[in-house]
Amino acid sequence: MPEFLDTIVVADNTVLHIGGFTLAIMFTMVLSKTLRSVFATSLKKRVEASDTQLDDLVLATFEKPVQLVVLVGGLGLSFKLLVLPEVLEQAVSAGTTFLLTIFIAWSATNFIRSGRRTYIDPFTESTESRLDDQLVPIMERTIIVVLWTLAILMVLSNLGYDIVSILTGLGIGGLALAMAAQDTLSNIFGSVTIFADKPFQVDDVVTIGGHTGTVTDVGLRTCRIRTFDDTVVTVPNKMLVGSSVENISAREARKFSGTIGLVYETTSEQLEAAMQAIDDILAAEEFIREGHVVRFDNFGDSALELTVIYWVEPVSEYFATRNRVNLAIKKAFDANGWDMAFPSMTVYRAA
């Protein structure tokens, strides 16, 4: 019997080698099918009976990858039972490591994405801030890129490449790239400032660099503003670090301050009546909060100037309220014969 097991069959491989390889392959197949059955029956039933979502997430993420890892790992170990040429042995080892690394990275990627959908997205949707809705995908992509970069480096190391030399080359190249892309890096740091300080959110009305409009998007390099003329202005994020940002949507109320001029022929009684009429109009408005001001402010060059100040709350009612107030003042002035002044100049000619 021992002599039979030591009989060479092919390429220095004895009956014992071939038999061990065959048994290892069969064991790997059986183990893979057993795991598939366990995942599909007992584990799935236990997961469905539990109240937590974590086990559902783990099962859905790792069910297929675990079976593939067992299958590939078992095949790799099976080949080690054979006597193979050095080149072929290295190829089998490298291929096994490559596939295992890819499967692990793939599983981790699926776990990150599923975890985000299950736990992170509901949280960000429940918050008032809309910046985190954009920050989470950026962080997810960054983590996945780092994960796959590490996986690729591990594969290259297994293939015999000098990782230190590769990292050194990447470092020198990265330094040159950073020097050539200073503006891009400044914009990225600007986006970090936006996410950290939250000077505004998506859908806020802001004034940045002389442009006023609604923020439609905040990216790593730029933010986009749709102006009231329906044009889209792209603002580099680095501008947000060194300049002021006016967030109009953050105001609880919007202030109006204007001047109404009456002709100099207006009597004191008419002036007082006009001021009272304006005060009554402002007091009757639903969205004008208490504390409005109507006063005789100045003897202008061509008019008796009344200053009118009021605050509209909420801001969304500002333009409609201002329109109603202006119409009401004009109707009151027309009804009472109070003449509004306009700029004029009197020229005297010497005799």
The radius of gyration of the chain from alpha carbons, rounded to an integer in Å, stands at 38
At residue 29, the pLDDT reads: 79
What are the sequence ranges of the domains in the chain? Answer: 2-161, 190-250, 254-336
CATH class of 190-250: mainly beta
Please state, in angstroms and rounded to a whole number, the distance separating the CA atoms of residues 244 and 207: 9
At residue 221, the pLDDT reads: 75
Establish whether domains 190-250 and 254-336 are of one fold: no
Contact at 8 Å (CB) between 264 and 303?
yes
At residue 48, the pLDDT reads: 62
In degrees and rounded to multiples of 5, residue 268 shows phi and psi of -65, -40
Please state, in angstroms and rounded to a whole number, the distance separating the CA atoms of residues 265 and 304: 9
At residue 73, the pLDDT reads: 74
pTM for this predicted structure: 0.44
Ranges of H-type helices in 161-317: 163-180, 182-197, 239-242, 268-284
Which residues partner with 13 through β-bridges? Answer: 10
Buried b (16+ CB within 10 A) or exposed e, 250-278: ebebbebeeebbbeeebeeebeeebbebb
Tens digits of pLDDT across the chain (351 residues): 565 555 565 666 666 666 776 787 787 777 777 777 666 666 666 666 666 666 666 666 666 767 777 777 777 777 776 666 666 667 777 777 777 788 788 878 887 877 777 777 777 667 665 556 666 777 777 788 888 888 887 777 766 666 666 666 655 555 555 554 556 666 666 666 677 667 777 788 888 878 888 888 877 677 888 988 889 988 887 777 767 788 877 778 888 999 999 999 999 999 999 999 999 999 999 999 888 999 999 898 889 999 999 999 888 888 899 999 999 999 999 999 999 987 655 555 665
Taking the domain 254-336, which CATH number applies? 3.30.70.100
